[in-house]
DNA sequence: ATCATCCGTGTAATCGATTCCACGGCGTCG
DNA sequence: CGACGCCGTGGAATCGATTACACGGATGAT
């Protein structure tokens, strides 16, 4: 593969001049510039990004570590992150943690070893020592969706409290009084937060959230199934199950069907995170939708700000309720899908 | 960030010795080894992958360019690819082409510039000049799922003919005679192939595949919707729609529902590519399932073989039919889900 | 005792770019 | 007319690792 020396030789100039032309440096004669460009064209020369990165100490690459690529919410997030990053001239390397702290650490370490310019993280857990160290070491970092309290890094996320309140109002309006939630891992911020938002909204309607109505999940479908089975075995099972993410909602749907029950007639179902498939499930599922594209854009911009020496800002965007049929027939005046 | 020189100084040896210890080179005294290791530990030293790559001319990184990350089939593929690559000591950088040749080229070029050791591609189109050049230039490359005829590169893919034949037999057994297909872009191999397999299977039952029953899609949901609307407007609409990928099946489902029709009572639906969500749609969708994990593993192994100087092999694995309810009630003796 | 070998180690070249510094030529200004 | 400055350019240092080669000392064979 042709190197910068070959180009210099071909154009009859020094490597310094070639480099200057390629980087748009002003002091190069028109003459030299055209000769170099011609040589580049002739040889099909492409600069070696590895060598360039070594010298300049920047890779124009962002790392994105997410907790689970198979979760459509994160897939979508990743897609938009890459899109915005590309627009700003960065590449993205994705690391999938599969909700495993050890895998998360593996990816963080590899990314740091590759000297990525900045790190976007949606932590799978309460924060391993590694993540703290990285943040402390001055590597530009931004949390997206989930974050770790006590680590001083900008956070870009959606606030679900308003939407959850709307959801509870909707459920209450349909006559439901016994509402249960399948929570995420307590170690994740989104885990807690969604439970607390739910509890708060229930309180507004004079309802309590008994411990038996809080299922412990881990954001995976299987845990949603288990938690729902637990609910269904209760002497007084809930009338509604609210899953804190879309995969657990799917598990819940499984468990409900396995019992021969019907949604929403026998039990209602709602989920956090809206995904395209929820339109097509039987029945379509009512969900709290996050502004994924905006979150991704804001996160990338915050990170780029941090990298390029500007001051990054934490951003919180509101989520919104999308009513479908899984909690009972929507009243005609309620907001519906889209 | 500490460099190898710092470690050498701390341990009181030369950088060469440090490097030897880190790379498990034999001729290093036990003494020196422990001192170096202690220094590494003390300084929290991590080798700079960029510098290492420049010198060794290898990055231990694989590029994976897929046509659409949002398609769960590819998401899953990507996940398993990363898993297998990690097991073999490689990292993976994913490039999402969004079914756009220009974006595909962008990613291929960036990956080559970064001097990845090998490239796994599921081409979005018939093959841009760039892809040909890269293959010709000797960059290790393997096609997965889709490939480009005329480029001499190993191909790892699933063969759907058997499963499609099973599908058609199943449909025929249920009494369906007017079967339509939503094809993928003609430029992709999977596009053609699935149509031809379908046509062949129909012929076995003495059925024809009229042009009006071949919808033109592009592997995206919207195209499935359009094609299905076309079918439904026909004087004699088909009794079954077979979508050549899962997203188009979703579009088809949309179009059918929008008409107020019911699956499978009014019209049957089947899809190529099985995904977890098909269990939860209303009704659950009959599909041809590809052995995604095995494909991913085989592809990575083929690429690693090529990179490491062994002879890579093309691999073709059989797909299988998963019968659910979207084509009519399954006979009790038929293979069902799982 | 002598010489060849081998082992552990260090010095320095190298990978392919960027960039600091010096230099020659030329225009401008005093 | 001499000095100064600027412009375009090239030489060489540099980034942080790996590795070929050289070297000194110990060991073993003859």
pLDDT digits (tens, 9 = 90+) for B229-272: 999 999 999 999 999 999 999 999 989 998 999 989 999 999 99
Residues B80-103: pLDDT tens digits? 999 999 999 999 999 999 999 999
Residue–nucleotide distance: A5 CA to D12 C1' (Å): 15
8 Å CB contact between B243 and B232 = no
Asked whether the predicted pLDDT for residue B291 surpasses 90, the reply is yes
Alpha helices in chain B (DSSP H): 4-11, 15-22, 30-43, 49-56, 72-87, 101-113, 129-136, 161-173, 189-204, 221-233, 246-258, 292-307
Question: Could you tell me if B69 lies within 8 Å of chain A, comparing CB atoms?
Answer: yes
Q: Give the Cα separation of B35 and B20 in Å (integer).
A: 13
**Hey, CA dihedral for B46, B49, B55, B58, is it positive or negative?**
positive
Sheet holding B141-144, edge to edge: B91-96, B61-66, B118-121, B141-144, B155-159, B315-318
Asked whether the predicted pLDDT for residue B334 surpasses 70, the reply is no
- φ/ψ of A229, rounded to 5, equals -60, -40
Strand spans (E) along A27-123? 61-66, 91-96, 118-121
Asked whether the predicted pLDDT for residue A333 surpasses 50, the reply is no
Question: Is the shortest CB-to-strand distance from A17 to strand D under 7 Å?
Answer: yes
pLDDT value of position B331: 46
Question: Is the shortest CB-to-strand distance from A29 to strand D under 7 Å?
Answer: yes
Asked whether the predicted pLDDT for residue A6 surpasses 60, the reply is yes
Asked whether the predicted pLDDT for residue B333 surpasses 90, the reply is no
pLDDT value of position A330: 56
Question: Could you tell me if A53 lies within 8 Å of chain B, comparing CB atoms?
Answer: yes
Give B205→chain A minimum CA distance, Å. 32
Compute the radius of gyration of chain B from its Cα atoms. 25
Q: Cβ–Cβ of A115/B50 closer than 8 Å?
A: yes
Q: Cβ–Cβ of A79/B96 closer than 8 Å?
A: yes
- Which neighbouring-strand residues pair with B322? B287
Give residue A51's pLDDT band: very low, low, confident or very high (50, 70, 90).
very high
Percentage of chain B exceeding pLDDT 90 = 88
Residues A93-102: pLDDT tens digits? 999 999 999 9
pLDDT average, residue stretch B217-238: 95
Q: Cβ–Cβ of A49/B114 closer than 8 Å?
A: yes
Q: Give the Cα separation of B57 and B307 in Å (integer).
A: 12
Q: Tell me which residues have their CB below 7 A from strand C.
A: A 1, 3-5, 15-16, 18-20, 22-23, 47-48, 51-52, 54-56; B 12-17, 20, 26-29, 31-32, 51, 54-55, 57
Q: And the tokens for B224?
A: 């499935």
Question: Could you tell me if A132 lies within 8 Å of chain B, comparing CB atoms?
Answer: no
Q: Give the Cα separation of A159 and A179 in Å (integer).
A: 21
Question: Is the shortest CB-to-strand distance from A14 to strand D under 7 Å?
Answer: yes
Asked whether the predicted pLDDT for residue A257 surpasses 80, the reply is yes
From the alpha carbon of B54, which nucleotide's C1' atom is closest? Answer: C15
Asked whether the predicted pLDDT for residue B111 surpasses 70, the reply is yes
Q: And the tokens for A190?
A: 């989104």
Residue–nucleotide distance: B28 CA to C7 C1' (Å): 9
Residues B44-56: pLDDT tens digits? 999 999 999 999 9
- φ/ψ of B224, rounded to 5, equals -65, -35
Q: What is the mean pLDDT of chain A?
A: 94
B106 vs B281, more confident: B106
Q: And the tokens for A325?
A: 């049929």
Domains, chain A, with CATH or none: 4-47 (1.10.260.40), 56-157+292-317 (3.40.50.2300), 159-290 (3.40.50.2300)
Q: On the CB side of B219, how many CA atoms lie within 13 Å of its CA? A: 28
Q: And the tokens for B241?
A: 């729609």
Give B268→chain A minimum CA distance, Å. 15
Asked whether the predicted pLDDT for residue A196 surpasses 60, the reply is yes
Question: Is the shortest CB-to-strand distance from B27 to strand D under 7 Å?
Answer: no
Q: And the tokens for B33?
A: 């080894």
Q: Cβ–Cβ of B277/A94 closer than 8 Å?
A: no
8 Å CB contact between A123 and A68 = no
Asked whether the predicted pLDDT for residue B228 surpasses 70, the reply is yes
Residues B55-71: pLDDT tens digits? 999 999 999 999 999 99
């Amino acid at each position: 593969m042709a190197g910068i020396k070959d180009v210099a030789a071909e154009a009859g100039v020094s490597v310094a001049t070639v480099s200057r032309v390629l980087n748009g440096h002003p002091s190069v004669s028109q003459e030299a510039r055209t000769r170099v460009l011609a040589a580049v064209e002739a040889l099909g020369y492409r600069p070696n990004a590895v060598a360039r990165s070594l010298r300049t100490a920047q890779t124009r690459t962002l790392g994105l570590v997410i907790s689970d690529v198979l979760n459509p919410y994160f897939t979508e997030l990743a897609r938009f992150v890459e899109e915005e990053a590309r627009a700003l001239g960065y590449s993205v390397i994705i690391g999938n943690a599969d909700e495993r702290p050890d895998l998360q650490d593996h990816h963080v370490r590899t990314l740091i070893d590759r000297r990525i310019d900045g790190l976007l993280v949606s932590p799978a857990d309460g924060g391993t020592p590694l993540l703290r160290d990285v943040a402390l070491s001055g590597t530009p970092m931004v949390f997206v969706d989930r974050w770790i309290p006590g680590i001083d890094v900008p956070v870009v996320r959606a606030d679900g409290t308003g939407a959850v309140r709307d959801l509870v109002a909707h459920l209450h309006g349909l006559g439901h009084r016994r509402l249960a939630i399948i929570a995420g891992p307590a170690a994740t911020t989104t885990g807690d937060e969604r439970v607390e938002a739910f509890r708060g909204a229930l309180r507004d309607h004079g309802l309590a959230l008994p411990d038996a109505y809080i299922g412990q999940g881990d954001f995976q479908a299987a845990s949603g199934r288990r938690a729902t089975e637990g609910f269904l075995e209760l002497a007084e099972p809930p009338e509604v199950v609210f899953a804190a993410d879309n995969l657990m909602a799917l598990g819940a749907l499984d468990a409900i069907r396995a019992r021969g029950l019907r949604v929403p007639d026998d039990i209602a179902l709602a989920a956090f995170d809206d995904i395209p498939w929820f339109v097509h499930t039987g029945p379509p599922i009512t969900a709290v939708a996050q502004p994924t594209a905006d979150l991704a854009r804001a996160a990338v911009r915050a990170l780029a700000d941090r990298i390029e020496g500007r001051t990054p800002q934490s951003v919180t965007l509101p989520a919104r309720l999308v009513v479908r049929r899984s909690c009972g027939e929507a009243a005609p005046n309620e907001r519906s899908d889209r």
